Amino acid sequence: MTEEIIIAGFGGQGVLSMGKIMAYSAVMQDMEVSWIPAYGPEMRGGTANVTVIISSEKISSPILRYFDTAIILNQQSLDKFEVFVKPGGILIYDSKGITRPPSRKDITTYRIDATDEAARMNNPQIFNMIVLGGYLKVKPVIKHENTVKGLRVSLPERRHNLIPVNEQALLRGRDIIAEVPKQA
């Protein structure tokens, strides 16, 4: 099993953190992992993306051109990365960050209203964990208990009090992700 993922959005949306948590979680599951972040010089508001490879075998190269899954959190990232999803692949997007929805017919598209849900849960900082939860429902490459272990490893100890709310966000993401019907 090999899953090649791109997560892309604005800095400050938790793009790199989501990738890091995925990587640590996969390690907790004895998987091979590659995590490569890319971001602009801006602290917040600039573009950010991360490629994550999770595999049951050795990873020959961490450099990817095409992806099994794209998790897209803004329009600029959709415009850039939609074409790089492999035919038959998956694209997941947050409804608030997209003005023109994905148009490809040879991939499966999912929408997750993570921004709205994080606001309903009174915690915008859990946005990325809602998205991650949705992804793990669609592609259960990491077990839930290993994702929680990955949170423990990636969050500093002073933030471990946030693990329960992040776990709730993961579970909520599973509930609200929905496949987008293909247009004729």
Predicted pLDDT at 62:
87
- Specify the pLDDT at position 118: 96
For 154, list phi and psi in degrees, rounded to 5. -85, -25
Average pLDDT over residues 166-179: 97
What per-residue confidence (pLDDT) applies to 41?
65
Q: What is the DSSP letter of 82?
A: G
The predicted model scores a pTM of 0.93
Determine the residue type at 121: M
Contacts by residues 113-118 (CB-CB < 8 Å, ≥ 24 positions apart): 113/176, 114/173, 114/176, 117/172, 117/173, 117/176, 118/169
Chain centre distance of CA 72: 8
Please tell me the predicted confidence (pLDDT) of residue 124: 92
Percent share of the chain, pLDDT over 70 = 96
CATH of domain 2-179: 3.40.920.10
Cα separation, 128 vs 163, in Å, equals: 13
pLDDT at 69 over 70: yes
Position 128 confidence tier, pLDDT thresholds 50, 70, 90: very high
Question: pLDDT band at residue 12, thresholds of 50, 70 and 90?
Answer: confident
Residues 120-141 have a mean pLDDT of 96
